[in-house]
Each structure stands twice: as structure tokens, then as C-alpha cells.
Amino acid sequence: MQNEVNGMVNIAILGFGTVGSGVAEVLTKNSGLIDGRVNNQVRLKYIMRARDIFEGPYKDLFVKDFSTIEHDPEVGIVVETIGGVGAALDYTTRALKAGKSVVTANKELVATHGYELLQLAKEHGVSYLFEASVGGGIPILRPLNACLAANEVDQVTGILNGTTNYILTRMIKAGLTFEQALKEAQDKGYAEKDPTADVEGHDACRKICILASIAFGRHVYPRQVPTEGITGVTLADVAYAESCNRKIKLLGRAVKELDGKICAYVAPHLIDAEAPLAGVEDVFNAIMVKGDAIGDVMFYGRGAGKLPTASAVVADVMDAARHIRSRKRVEWGPGGEDVTVSPEGVPFRWYVRCAGTAEKVRAAGLDAALLSRPGAPADEVAFLTRAMPRGELMSALSGMELGSLFRVLE
Ligand code: NDP
Ligand code: HSE
């Protein structure tokens, strides 16, 4: 049973960075509206910081020791915005065991330990909610869990990382270098503490794991999801994509195969310039879900940033507060090696840029559609293939020096 004292639900925020400070701001600024909608008084009681900076409007709320929060029976909901799987896992576990609901934006923790934390929440009759962990401010997990519950979901495909979408947009539209665009994303609070997680695709990987776990009902772990980021995307690739009326986007995908297994991966794709995902730019994210009853549905909005993310976190706090005497039911089954299938054997159309000539490509028997771009060096060739598994393509290309190899989304 969770804690509600004299008609009041007390909140503790762990971590006071971009998201944590946004949560404090929204809880404070919209306090009257939140109380009215929850039909209870929601009060921010503690903010836990790692640093000894105890000043500003919340100075009386700051604490440094988690046990103050853990052992305070008045605290009903803990908001974890620390990130990572070290202290965050420890505090989340202890909060759930102490009978407190936990709300988080931490996709790394949910993707790696979500199943066991949801089980722990169930055991202790409390909620573990993480809407902000995917798509920042976009409502996607709750709709997937509730509004689309009548559908057999076939696939989920999304632009899931705001930082990389921002970088690609700024490089293409404003001519910034990769480093300049990344610095802007960091200054705006979009990037992870270690931005390698963004640019190498690990953040998108964690998000597709969470989406797949909800959509298909079994835990999908990051190690089961082959992942590539955007560091291999060049302006030459962008020009070749444009020449065939396509755009390059980093996509996370989870597709249910005919045998019921899940094929999930993260990689740059060429997509039709007229497709809805092609128009998603800047820090925006979009997630397309295909269900057997609804067909295609797309969720779109700001995928990162202080207040958009806080919007989703505080909505979860409100949901947990409404369920303070019960539990908001979110769960999926355990993971396992039988849950997923590798994308290696699945046929895709490919975009290839490599050193070579059109003659060499023809000789390789690839039935390729050649592409061109202004200023291309004489020894560079780029083309689109028919649908084939990666292994077959790689054998045909043996002996040619590969530049880029991206899937084409049909
Ligand atoms: P920040 O690095 O800005 O904030 C994390 C804060 O955690 C730090 O400022 C630090 O606060 C605090 N912290 C670190 N270790 C401890 C500890 N042991 N105990 C208490 N506090 C600690 O990260 P973000 O706010 O950007 O991200 C937080 C989480 O939200 C991550 O999981 C991230 O992936 C996720 N997220 C981020 C989004 C974004 O747009 N930034 C969007 C969606 C999700 P201090 O030193 O001040 O105490
Ligand atoms: N670093 C993440 C992104 C934050 O850029 O999408 C939101 O999850």
C-alpha cells in the first residue's frame, strides 16, 4: 500500500539536471491544475542532488542521502531522473521495496531491468511508470498499452532520438559540421551525458527495446538488437539519397515475423521523401505503429528537452497519484533468446556507396539502380539494390571497398 498522508501525495525527485529541474518546475508552476486533475494534493517534498549546491527556490527541499527519502513514510512517489543503471537501479529498487511508486525517464534502466522492476512493483502493489523514456514528451507508451490494446501489433518503426535527428537536420539544412551540430544539441539539453549513446544509436536501441516489450509482450534486451548510429552518414550519402527522392533517417524498428519472433534493429535508412517520417526534423521524434485493426498510426512531437520530457514525467506522477491506493498495471513477460530473430537473414533493399565503377557493379550481378550526385569522384559508385539479405549483398560486393551501406525503407 502506498503512502497518502492527510489527502496529500508527497513526491521526491532524484537528480536535478535537465529533466529533474523541469519536473520540479512543472510540478510547482502547474500545482493548482495538477491537484484539481488528480483530486488530491500533490506536493514536492524532496529533491536529491549529488552535488553540494543547496540554493535557489528549492533550497529547503534538497537532500543528499537517499535513505531520508526511503525511510520517510510520507513519500508516496519517487521520480528518478539520474540516468544510467548504477545509483538509479539501487534507488529504484529500494523505493519500490519501501512501497513507493517510481516514475522515470531513464530508458537505459527500463531497457535493461524493466521486467524485474515491473515484477518488483507488482509484488509491492505500487506503480513503475516510464512514459518519458521513449519519445520525450510524446504520448506513446500509454496509447500503445491502452488505446491500441485491441490490436495485434505487426511493427513499430520510429525516429527515436532527438539528438541525432537534430544533428542530421542541422548538417543538411544549415551546413554545420557534425561536431558543431552535436555541440548545439548538448547545449539545448537534448544529448545524453555521454553523447556516444545518441550518435552510436544505443539510446534509440534502448527505446525500441521498450516499445517492442510493450507491443509484443516479452522483454527485448539491447544485446538482442543490432545497432548502428549516424557516424557513418556523409553529405555524399545525403546527396545520393536526394537524387532518388529519399532522405536519410536513423530508425529503430521492431517487426513481428511470421514465426512470431521479433526482428529489431537500429540503423540509418533511406526513406521516401514524401513519407510521413521524412518530414520529421530537428529534435522531433515520430513513432509509426502498424496494428491489424487500426492500420498505420503515427505519434509525433518533441523527443527531448527539459519541459517536453517533464510534461510526460509529471503526467505519470499524476497517474501514479490517482492510483495511490492501488497500482497502475503495466507489465510484460520475461525475455529470452527465443524472443528475437536476427535481421541478418531478412531481405531488404539496400543503398550502397563504394569505391568502384558502374561496370564492376554490373559485373557483380546486383541488378542495381545506379545513382549520381554532382562532384562525385570518378572512382565512387552508389546504387540501390533489389531486396536481398545482407550476406548475399556482401558476397556480391567482395573485393569492392565499401563506404556506406544503409537499408531502404519500402
Ligand atoms: P542530467 O545529466 O542533466 O541530469 C542528471 C542529474 O542526476 C545530474 O544533474 C546530477 O544532478 C544527478 N545525479 C547524478 N548522480 C546522482 C546520484 N548518485 N544521486 C543523486 N543525483 C545524481 O541528465 P538529464 O536530466 O538529461 O537525463 C536524466 C534522465 O532522463 C536520463 O535517464 C536520460 O536518458 C533521460 N531523458 C533525458 C531527456 C533529455 O531531453 N535530456 C529526455 C528523455 C529522457 P546534480 O549533480 O545536480 O545533483
Ligand atoms: N538523448 C535523448 C535524445 C534524450 O536525444 O533523444 C531523449 O530521450
Q: Are 341 and 259 in contact (CB under 8 A)?
A: yes
In this predicted structure, what is the pLDDT of residue 410?
Answer: 86
pLDDT value for 366 = 85
The answer to whether 207 is a known catalytic residue is: yes
Which among 203, 205, 207, 281 is the best mutation to test ligand 2's pocket, defined by most ligand atoms within 8 Å of the CB?
203
pLDDT of residue 270: 98
Dihedral angle at the C-alpha atoms of 115, 119, 120, 125, nearest 10 degrees?
140
Query: Ligand 1: does its nearest atom lie under 6 Å from the Cβ of 46?
Result: no
Measure the CA–CA gap between 15 and 145, rounded to whole angstroms: 28
* Residue 319 clears pLDDT 70, i.e. is over it: yes
CB contact burial 169-185 (16+ within 10 A = b; e otherwise): bbbbeeebebeebbebb
Nearest CA to ligand 1 atom 48: 49
Q: Tell me: the pLDDT tens digits for 204-230?
A: 999 999 999 999 999 999 999 999 999
Percent of the chain with pLDDT strictly greater than 70: 99
Confidence of residue 21 (pLDDT cuts 50, 70, 90): very high
Tally the residues of the chain.
Answer: 410
The span from the CA of 345 to the CA of 324, in Å, is 47
What whole-number distance in Å separates Cα of residue 194 and Cα of residue 197?
A: 6
User: Is residue 258 packed enough to be buried (19+ CB in 10 Å), middle (13-18) or exposed (0-12)?
Assistant: exposed
Taking 60 as the threshold, does the pLDDT of residue 321 lie above it?
A: yes
pLDDT at 6: 65
152-166 pLDDT, tens digit per residue, is 999 999 999 999 999
Are the beta carbons of 314 and 172 closer than 8 angstroms?
Answer: no
Round to whole Å and give the CA distance between 176 and 168: 9
Q: For residue 304, what pLDDT is reported?
A: 96
Computed over every residue of the chain, the mean pLDDT equals: 95
pLDDT at position 288, please?
98
Nearest protein Cα to ligand 2, atom 1: 191
> What distance in Å separates the CA atoms of residue 78 and residue 80, rounded to the nearest whole number?
6
Q: What is this structure's pTM?
A: 0.97
Atom of ligand 1 nearest to the CA of 189: 41
Tell me: pLDDT of 337 over 90.
Answer: yes
Ligand 2 environment, Cβ below 6 A: 136, 161-163, 190-192, 198, 203, 303-304
DSSP 260-317: S-EEEEEEEEEEETTSGGGG--TTEEEEEEEETTTEEEEEEEE-SSHHHHHHHHHHHH
d(CA 85, CA 206): 12
Cell of 253: 524498428
What is the predicted pLDDT for the residue at 96?
98
Answer whether residue 4 shows pLDDT above 80.
no
pLDDT value for 5: 67
**What is the average per-residue pLDDT within 248-263?**
96
Residue whose grid cell is 528475437: 340
